[in-house]
Structure formats: C-alpha cells, structure tokens
Structure 1
C-alpha cells in the first residue's frame, strides 16, 4: 500500500497528498504523526495548504484542520479555492453554487466560535468553522461561509462585489451586508421555528435569504 499521507512543499505553502482508497481514520493517524514530526514545518500564523488526491467532506476537513491546529501550532489556514470547493462544504447541485466553486480564489479558514467584540476579515473568501455570536463580525471581499450559527454581523463583497453570498447552517444574523446593500434580521414573530442551512445573495438590488435547497 502506498503511504496514506505525503507532504510536499509548494512555494510558501504545503501540499498534502491523501490516499483516496484509505480509511479516513488511518489518514488521520498518519497525518497527525506527520504534523507532530514536522511541527516546525507547519508552525506559523497563516499556512497556505492544498489537500490533493481525495475529496473531503466538511467533517473530514474539520478533522484535519483540528489536527493541524492542535499538534502543529497553526493559527489560520488558507486554501486555494480550486482544491477546497464550496461543493465540499455544502451539499447542493444548484448551478449558482457550481459557479462559486469554479472561481479560482483563496479562502481563509477560522476554526472556533467568535464572541462579542471579535472581528475576522479576509481579502478573499472566508470560512468560519463555528458560530458567530451577537457582537462578533465577519468581513470578506468575497463569499462568507459559516459552518455553524450566524448571529452577529456578516459583510460579504465589501469591495463592491454584488455576486458574493453569505451561507450559514443557522441564519440568525443581527445584520447582513453584501456590497453596499444591507438586510437586518427579521422580527421574532417572522423567524423560522427550525434551524436550516440558508444562503443570502443579492437579487434585484435586494438581499434575499433562501434555504440552500431552493438556491
């Protein structure tokens, strides 16, 4: 059997080549050992990284990120968008999501809940693996993906990109902005009873929020 995990440097980043046929638990064990043995290689505030050879779902991606942060001292991870696609994070076959996937952009990933007063910004796409609590703010020049509850403020397309979107597994923000357009959270009586994954985007110069299945 080929080695389940191989690390290669590219520029200032790291390529992680994963065996597509290997059990994911074995992948994790090998990857953890690689990270521990090469901690100086991984250590840094922001690490550009590519996962190659295996399509990762959101759980698998989060698991590998946890290993890098716990055992490698990595703070933030930047992914080339053609390697970690929007399709890997939310399961939908709608054409608009496929359009996002094809953009050759970078994504900044932050793992952990954002509390009141915290602000995370990104020059590209921004992925939050955790909740955004009231009083916290996430800002991106492009798309914002929250793999958790969005209860704070999200401003996507801050440079004027009206094609940007905001996605959250639970959409309950104080405010959403896309480019120069603002939408506020609905009144309590108009809120949904059940939490569902939703996406916000601009349509006819108005921010529309829909379940991902209807996007």
Structure 2
C-alpha cells in the first residue's frame, strides 16, 4: 500500500511520486545531522569514522530511491526535468559504482555475505569500492542532501495534502528506554555482574567505567 493510500485512504495518480518524496525527506532528515556532526567534530577520528559509515549507508539508500524516482520520470515531464537538473550531483555520487557492494558486504550486514561467508574486508578495500577519505564521504552526503532538497522543492506541492493529514494523525511515540546517565550505568553494572557471576574469570575484564 502506498503512502497516499495509507494517508488519504485511496489511490492517487501521484502516489508513486509522493512515496518517493517521503523516502527522500526521511533520508534528508538523517543525512543532515550526520553531516553536521561530522563537520563539527572532524578532528575526532573515531567519531568521523563511525559517522562516515552511516553517511555511506544513507547515500546508498538515496541511490536506491533515485532509481525509483527515475522510473517515475518515464511518464512525468516535470520529474524528467528534475532528473536533468540533478544529473551532475548524481553522476558524481555514482563515480563510486560499487558503493552498494561495500554497504552490503561490510557496513550493513555484519561483514557477512548473503551466502553466509565472511567478507574479505582487505580485498574490498583493495578494490576501492568506497571512499576511505572523510572529505569524499562528506561530499557524497552533501550531494545527496542537495538532490533530495531540490526534489522536495520542485515537487513538494503534490505532498502537501498527505503531509497535513499525516501530521494531524501523528501520535507521540511511547517514551521507552532508560532516561538518564545513572540508569545507563546501573543497567550496565547489573548485567556485567550477572555475567561475571557465571564466569568469575571475566570479572576483571567486566569491571570498568562504561562512561569513560
């Protein structure tokens, strides 16, 4: 069922476009804070490495959705014009044609391939499947944000009725999970004690400050 069906209760001519724009907006809302954090803490290598991986995953998701958006352009002149406008940005992202292989084989699925074999990360790196320099990753993420923003700007009018209805129906998610640093520390301590009681040889290893 499309976003239009879910939100409006019926099919619509623009349902495919609305669905695609919703996906792009969701990706943009995750890419923008990731890019902000990476730029703000660029000198912190551990953080930059972690956020870079998240950006690559999101950029791959953008490319997956871009394929769907391109198919909409077959019957939509306005979409085709948007595709032409954004061709330079998408072409630069696609300069890494095996980015999805890196995502699937290394980042997203626990370094295990679909057939169950372990990923040979060194071989993947040697093949140059994904950027290893953080500025390149920043560029890919920035271009994906530009592309999604332009799509939303040029086609957002078709989403307005569905968006209004969605916001009207939206309910606040239940507030679940621990709420404070103290609760976090207590939870870690309780679980590590339980583990070390089963195997006392692990007690020293599991006695540490998880907030270090």
Where is the helix percentage greater, Structure 1 or Structure 2?
2
Structure 1-normalised TM-score?
0.22
Higher-Rg member (1/2)? 2
